[in-house]
């Protein structure tokens, strides 16, 4: 190669090296990706520590949504498992009813021992104090009410209350059930259990609109429609209402059963022309 060619090659190499150095020192006009500023370079070479930091920053910047979604999904899954309701034993307490008889005993002042009968209005008249409302209260609640009332006469009275004559609480099942009637409570009872005790639905029952009547006071009765058909078909009894003393369940008829059933003799079909001109054999 001639000397002039070597000079040309050397000049081209120097020119390319200078352009590369300028490109490394001047950032791109579009700026760094993901809004990250490049770390400082030393002699055109990025330090190893800065390279690791940049790589970590780039990975964090490229996947913020994905990491957040995974965390949210994990926390949602965990909270979903924690929010699953657990079965608990339901133990309803006995509540005082009308005409119940209660034996009241005083530990240190037996002269106040007495039997109290709940009147039709739900009140009792204890000896020496004003009347108290007893209906609907549990035995501990009524005992506490007696202690507070007698506390005005006695110093820290110790009272024990025992029911001696209890009227069985009842509920009523009527309408389209096989055995309608009045049933006494044998424990905690729900609507679906009460329907079963009543012999189950008849073929004419409207399962989706069973009505529960519950008396609130002497003037108001609350009525609520319950879709037992949906609950039983889905196997979900979470909304199965627990009955209270005096509740009444009414199962209405379905629409088809309301249509009157009638039969006509064969001669009337011919008379009214239901068969046209086709002779009967």
Distance set, CA 21 to CA 10, 12, 45, 116, 204 (Å): 17, 14, 11, 106, 94
Q: Which residues pair with 116 in a beta bridge?
A: 102
Contact yes or no for 34/61 (Cβ under 8 A): yes
Q: What does R_g of the chain's alpha carbons equal in angstroms?
A: 43
- Cβ neighbours of 249 (radius 10 Å): 24
Task: Look at residue 131 in the predicted model and tell me its pLDDT.
Answer: 94
Confidence at residue 163, expressed as pLDDT on a 0 to 100 scale: 93
Residue of 139, 138, 135, 130 whose CA lies nearest to 105 = 139
> Does residue 86 have a pLDDT over 70?
no
Q: What is the pLDDT of residue 19?
A: 53
To the question of pTM greater than 0.85 for the whole model, the response is no
Is 60 exceeded by the pLDDT of residue 157?
yes
pLDDT above 90 coverage of the chain, percent: 44
Of 14-18, 172-176, 256-260, the one with minimum mean pLDDT is 14-18
d(CA 225, CA 216): 16
Average pLDDT, the chain: 75
The C-alpha angle with vertex 55 and arms to 52 and 57, in degrees rounded to 5, equals 110
Closest CA to 190 of 244, 235, 232, 230: 244
Among 179, 210, 212, 176, smallest CA distance to 197 is for 179
User: Which residues, listed in sequence order, are joined to residue 171 by a DSSP beta bridge?
Assistant: 183
**Helical H segments across the chain, by residue range:** 3-25, 48-62, 64-82, 139-150, 191-197, 228-234, 255-258, 266-271
Closest residue by Cα to residue 164 from 207, 114, 225 = 114
Average pLDDT over residues 66-94: 47
Residue 63 has pLDDT above 60, yes or no: no
Contact predicate 38/27, CB 8 Å: yes
Least confident of 17-21, 78-82, 275-279: 78-82
- How far does the chain reach from its first CA to its final CA, in angstroms? 127
pLDDT in the model for residue 259 = 65
Predicted confidence band of residue 255 (pLDDT cuts 50, 70, 90): confident
Query: Which domains does the chain show, CATH number per domain?
Result: 101-165 (3.30.1950.10), 170-258 (3.10.560.10)
Upper half-sphere CA count for residue 212 (Cβ side, 13 Å): 22
| Nearest C-alpha neighbor of 178 from the set 195, 197, 199 | 199
Mean local confidence (pLDDT), 232-258? 87
* DSSP structure class, residue 127: T
Phi, psi at 272, each rounded to 5°: -85, 0
Structure tokens at 107: 């530990």
* pLDDT tens column, 258-274: 666 555 565 655 565 55
């Amino acid at each position: 190669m001639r000397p002039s060619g070597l000079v040309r090659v050397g000049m081209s190499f120097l020119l390319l090296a200078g352009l590369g150095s300028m490109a490394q020192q001047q950032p791109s006009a579009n700026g760094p990706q993901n809004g990250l500023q490049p770390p400082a370079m030393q002699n055109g070479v990025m330090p190893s520590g800065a390279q690791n930091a940049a790589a970590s920053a780039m990975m964090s910047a490229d996947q913020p949504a994905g990491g957040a979604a995974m965390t949210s999904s994990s926390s949602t899954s965990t909270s979903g498992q924690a929010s699953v309701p657990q079965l608990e034993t339901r133990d309803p307490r006995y509540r005082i009813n009308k005409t119940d008889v209660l034996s009241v005993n005083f530990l240190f002042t037996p002269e106040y021992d007495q039997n109290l009968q709940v009147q039709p209005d739900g009140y009792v008249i204890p000896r020496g104090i004003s009347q108290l409302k007893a209906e609907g209260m549990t035995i501990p609640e009524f005992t506490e009410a007696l202690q507070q009332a007698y506390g005005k006469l006695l110093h820290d009275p110790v009272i024990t209350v025992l029911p001696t004559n209890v009227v069985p609480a009842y509920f009523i099942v009527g309408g389209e059930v096989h055995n309608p009637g009045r049933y006494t409570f044998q424990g905690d009872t729900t609507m679906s259990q009460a329907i079963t005790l009543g012999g189950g639905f008849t073929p004419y029952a409207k399962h989706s609109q069973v009505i529960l009547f519950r008396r609130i006071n002497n003037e108001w009765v609350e009525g609520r429609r319950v879709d037992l058909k949906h609950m039983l078909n889905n196997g979900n009894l979470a909304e199965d209402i627990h009955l209270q003393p005096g509740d009444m369940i009414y199962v209405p008829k379905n629409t088809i059963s309301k249509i009157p059933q009638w039969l006509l003799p064969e001669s009337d079909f011919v008379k009214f022309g239901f068969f046209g001109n086709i002779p009967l054999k």
